[in-house]
Amino acid sequence: MAHHRHHTRTDLARIAADVMRERGLAPEFPSDVQHQLQAIAGPAPVQGKDIADLRHLPWCSIDNDDSRDLDQLSASEVLPGGAVKILVAVADVDALVHKDSAIDRHACQNTTSVYTGARIFPMLPERLSTDLSSLNQDEDRLALVTAMVFNPDASLAGSTVMHACVRNKAQLAYDAIAAWLDGTGELPAAAAAIDGLDAQLRTQDAVAQQLRARRREQGALEFETFQPRAVFDGEEVVDIVEQPHNRARQLIEELMIATNGCNAHFLSSKGGMALRRVVRSPERWQRIVDVARDKGVELPARPDARALEAFLAREHRRDPLRFPDLSLVIVKLMGRGEYVLEKPDGDPIGHFGLAVRDYTHSTAPNRRYPDLITSRLIKAALAHQHPPYSPSELDHLAQHCTQQEDAAQKVERRVRKSEAALVLERRIGEHFDGIVTGADPQSTWVRTFAPP
């Protein structure tokens, strides 16, 4: 029997780079980016006029175990009467990456970091995204801080945005914090070392759970889709594991959704333009109605997020085994998110899936270009300056960012398929339990219960 050479991490990285080029994305940084990078001496200076010094607050980051590009920190304070103040700090990447510079032009071409198991293709050079503009532990960094006050029922009492200097006191990871919140693990040492951080994390978790419940009441959609992650042993793909959506991820997700909403509101309150993140009311709603009818549920004739969420919640309880497959069908029928220019007198389109009307992307400027654009718009508004973009520029960028995000997702999907094929290559002839999720005359789609 002939022996086939197993494809390696290097092969997968090459596949990813090739698909990126096909899709109009640049896998490597050009030489002018390297030249500009060499001229950056260090992190942006943190003192200056109109920069608040918030380094004393017990800031912490919660991210993936292996994350090195830390975009945001959080801190909180319980106020008299039961209200809670939550502050979210987002790295001021613009302080080092100026508009129309070589680094900015490359970031603008790709508009996003591309994450594959074999290799990460960062939007910004790693010296910036994982060091000089990353909110790393025990480093002073410039940030845009959104301070939000929530009433005891988690309704928003008010918010402010400011330019500030911050210092990450504890770099934490999702899985360890989730285990601690669930009572199945110890408080990580980095958190235990900071006086009162445990209580702050409990406070933020409680508010996040309330925010999540409020959004669901308003029709925010809860999906469950499979998040596969390849495991490598040296050069070889040896397994594919599921990335759990745990309580710590929910905590950060809710704080980021709230921050994005407040930042969108801030820009509109200043009479400025904004790059909004929207999911339009589904054009293929009738197809969604048909899917629900097959399950014995009658949805309204017009798009209705609350009715759709009630249907999804019912199906999750009734048939949790098949719910991820139903989620995928509905997600595809809803259509993708997109970026749009919103002018001061415009009527917001809103975000159908999140059940919010004011929404922008602003919390990940190291890895997502729309967030960098938004930070520039916020900084201009704070300084009472004209926005650094014209309406036509922003309109073009909105379309470009939507297109490139779609291209990046296609690259990531293509590599995930290759990873799955490599894992299964060694297991031809074995039997697996699974569910048939779709079929046509040419193909049958099957989801195995546990990745082999």
* pLDDT tens digits along 160-175: 999 999 999 999 999 9
Contact by Cβ (8 Å): 144, 376: no
Query: Which pLDDT does position 284 carry in this prediction?
Result: 82
Give, in order, the Cα–Cα distances in Å from 6 to each of 24, 232, 283, 308.
29, 13, 44, 45
Residue-level pLDDT at 71: 96
Q: What is the pLDDT of residue 1?
A: 39
Count of helix runs (H) and strand runs (E) in the chain: 13, 15
Alpha-carbon distance of 55 to 141, in angstroms, equals 9
Residue 268's contacts (CB-CB under 8 Å, 6 or more residues apart) are: 274, 342, 344, 358
- Identify the pLDDT of residue 444: 84
Pick out the chain residues at pLDDT < 50.
Answer: 1-4
| Contact indicator for 121, 363 with CB cutoff of 8 Å | no
d(CA 305, CA 283): 13
Q: What is the pTM of this model?
A: 0.89
Spell out the alpha helix ranges (H) of 139-182: 174-181
Distances (CA, A) of 172 to 63, 117, 182, 188, 255: 7, 22, 16, 8, 16
pLDDT at 433: 82
Distance separating alpha carbons of residues 105 and 64, to the nearest angstrom: 28
The fraction of the chain above a pLDDT of 90, given in percent, is 58
> If you write DSSP's letter for every residue of 274-338 in order, what string do you get?
EEEEEBPPPTTHHHHHHHHHHTT----SS--HHHHHHHHHHHHHH-TTTHHHHHHHHHHHH---E
Domain boundary assignment for the chain: 9-280+335-448
Contacts of 403 (CB under 8 A, 6+ apart): none
CB atoms within 10 A of CB 373: 29
Q: Do 392 and 294 form a contact (C-beta atoms < 8 A)? A: no
Res 3: pLDDT: 45
Q: Is the dihedral of CA 282, 286, 290, 295 positive or negative?
A: positive
pLDDT at 358: 75
